Amino acid sequence: MIKIALVAVSGVLFAVMLKQSKSDFAIYISLALTVIITVCCMGRMETLINYVNKLQSLVTIKSEYLSVLLKMAGIAYVAEITSGICKDCGYASVAGQVELFGKLSVITIGMPIVMALIDTIERCLTI
């Protein structure tokens, strides 16, 4: 985490210095930092997926549920990155729409889990 923080702070400071004279390059630096940090996050995601698979083997959880949870986390992450880039480029309204679409996507993907939970509660109440 310290390496990522140092890269991010260094890149942002460099972009701020360049923003005075060459504002186009500041945006490119911001995009490059986003790509670098995203690539570093992919390694962490692989570790997380391995732990989720290990958890699945220890506890009887349907694989569909874990898959949906990982998809929800991925959508939230991509929406946050995209929204941040749009805000950095000065397009706050587009960023808001991306955030809204991300939230709706997470809700839509999570609905099968909610429906399964409601079915389980209903079955417990009828017994």
- Domain co-membership, 81 together with 38: no
- Domain co-membership, 68 together with 41: no
| Structure tokens belonging to residue 71 | 């998809």
Spatial distance between the Cα atoms of 54 and 59, rounded to a whole number of angstroms: 9
Q: What DSSP string describes 20-67?
A: HH-HHHHHHHHHHHHHHHHHHHHHHHHHHHHHHHHHHHHS---HHHHH
Q: How many domains does the structure of the chain reveal?
A: 2
- Domain co-membership, 67 together with 99: yes
pTM, entire model: 0.68
Using DSSP, state whether 96 is helix, strand or coil.
helix
Structural domain span for residue 111: 61-127
For residue 25, is it within any domain?
yes
Q: How far does the chain reach from its first CA to its final CA, in angstroms? A: 50
Indicate the DSSP class of residue 60: -
Q: Which of 117, 54, 44 is nearest to 77 (CA)?
A: 44
For residue 88, is it within any domain?
yes
- Domain co-membership, 40 together with 67: no
What are the tens digits of pLDDT across the range 82-107?
898 888 878 889 899 999 999 999 99
Which pLDDT score, from 0 to 100, does residue 107 have? 94
What are the tens digits of pLDDT across the range 35-73?
888 888 887 888 888 887 787 777 777 777 878 888 898
- Domain co-membership, 119 together with 67: yes
- Domain co-membership, 13 together with 39: yes
